Structure 1
């Protein structure tokens, strides 16, 4: 079956009349699969210590300036005592795990089964590589086991992860962990839109919400922001 046929089948299936036993059976078994992913994630990640998640595009090539910058950020995070969590795939994720590995720090990969782009990178600790079918379970793991978020340039998935973290912090569902956006030239247009449309024109956010993230351009700025945040609490990770 081609990808087009698979996509068409998904659409048609939503309009098919199903009997109650079929619905109950399919949904019930899905619950067990979801539970197993949560249990596996909790068991493997529960003892990793303070970590920072690095988000960014799977399409970024080795040698690209953002790849090298993500690798540098991850390396310097490990030298500050943090472990690194990524989505486990290529691009920025690979760079993050590679930098953590070079720094002899914890290197975690939360891989997701996708039809393209995603494959496990070789820089993840063997006992800290997980695979997920469900995006929402994977995002829970990112948030639950991260003490900060570094967001590199990326696409829809990166934006999804960024706004998930911002929303949970804004609504006080998680602590106010630091969020660092890396790359003024990449993020400034989005931040201008947030300020002009969400804040000023439509008033759908509050002025203080703009303080939920920090915009930087260098690895030192990114890591220093995280370190200064935890210095206020007299906390040092993994020392």
Structure 2
């Protein structure tokens, strides 16, 4: 008489039996943090390549600024929108130099200045990128970034890498802690020569000189006179574009900046 084998329900239901790529508990475990980091890089990289994005102009600024906000807020929003439109029209995001896109507007993907910049690019008929981040108080993407180029990251480090690796230039509108963090990330990469030339403009000189005393830093010897040359100032969209050009912004097709951040 042949013995009937016991049921194998326990084996089939065991987490170890799941296909690894479909096992969310496994993928979200501590041992797979490096894999998740790689996935966040690869997913955005694949989409950016599919859209022929060669380089970007990154626009930072406060998420708390509104189109009809108080004081200078409305002006900052209007000028971020205007800058992104003219940069998209003049910089190569519409592919005037061949089959790749240069100087595509890239933002953190959220509201405020980010929304204004994505909106300006959309009004120019150009694609733009939104590098969103998962936050405790959920940030939703604004309605103007190109859907196929609207990403969401878990890791700030990978988000920062994608913001930096294709950046041809940086325009920083008034903002808070997050804006300062991103600004000094790029300035430090340039100061230490860990990144290629990234022309940087601080928008609204009065704001920036009131919140950061660059003169005091230089006088104390914590930065050099050469460090002050890593950025310029502008007070309207046209001046921001002109300042970027003066600081070396390339508007023709060039080798991918990301090749220098391997």
What is the TM-score of this pair, normalised by structure 2?
0.75
For 2:149 and 2:159, the matched residues in 1 are separated by 14
The CA RMSD measured in Å over matched residues stands at 1.9
Unaligned runs of 5+ in 2: 1-27, 69-73, 92-102, 255-262
Residue 37 (structure 2) aligns with: 34
CA contact (8 A) 1:61 1:91 kept: yes
Residue 119 (structure 1) aligns with: 140
Aligned pair 1:151/2:177, yes or no? Answer: no
Residue 221 (structure 1) aligns with: 239
SS in 2 for 1:41: helix
SS in 2 for 1:122: coil
Structure with more helix by fraction:
1
Residue 161 (structure 1) aligns with: 182
* Displacement over 6 Å in runs of 4+: none
Choose which of 123, 127, 130 in structure 2 pairs with 1:109.
130
For 2:168 and 2:75, the matched residues in 1 are separated by 26
User: How far off its partner does 1:164 sit?
Assistant: 0.2
CA contact (8 A) 1:71 1:95 kept: yes
Aligned pair 1:195/2:205, yes or no? Answer: no
User: How far off its partner does 1:49 sit?
Assistant: 2.5
CA contact (8 A) 1:45 1:145 kept: no
Choose which of 52, 59, 76 in structure 2 pairs with 1:54.
59
Residue 185 (structure 1) aligns with: 206
What is the TM-score of this pair, normalised by structure 1?
0.82
For 1:229 and 1:104, the matched residues in 2 are separated by 26
Aligned pair 1:68/2:86, yes or no? Answer: no
User: How far off its partner does 1:115 sit?
Assistant: 2.2
For 2:86 and 2:196, the matched residues in 1 are separated by 23
For 1:213 and 1:117, the matched residues in 2 are separated by 32
Choose which of 71, 89, 93 in structure 2 pairs with 1:79.
89
> What number of residue pairs does the alignment pair up?
209
SS in 2 for 1:90: coil
Q: Over residues 60-102 of structure 1, what are the superposed CA-to-partner deviations in whole Å (9 max), with x where a residue is unaligned?
A: 1123111111101101101212310000111100000000000
For 2:227 and 2:177, the matched residues in 1 are separated by 21
CA contact (8 A) 1:55 1:152 kept: yes
For 1:95 and 1:158, the matched residues in 2 are separated by 15
SS in 1 for 2:118: helix
Structure ID, larger Rg: 2
